[in-house]
Chains A and B, each alone.
Chain A
């Protein structure tokens, strides 16, 4: 005879986490559906990374062949930034051995959502080894005194 086991809270949490993971996978895969290049805008989407620590949010962007002088960082809203950079030279599909597509690329462009509230005015940026690093201090609220 089959026994009906009551599901423990851990089972429920486990299922919930699995469901969340599936949703995350789906979002990632949907994002992957679009190409990393845009022929009309002549732009390539660079690889980027966002690290959140207790006091700052650090964004890095990989910009090989970018002209360091042309890098622009724009704050579009409280939690969205845009990075653009011109390339030192035009890049064609042929440069990658691809001859069945046509197009040339002159710039990098990407929009990066910030996962935590930041003080955009305190941001600092530097360009090291072809990688752009932008550091934002995280927004501070107020302190609660321990009695």
Chain B
């Protein structure tokens, strides 16, 4: 699998939205490719930051 293909699947990978075979290929690629693994870590961190945004309520 190409790095670009793997990186394009990051969202679906994290949301468990891939079939088992594709997921396995990505897992294998991540084990072999340190750059993609690093990219995934950065992507996860930015997602966590976005999702940690405060739920904003109207002021009373």
**B is a partner of A:** no
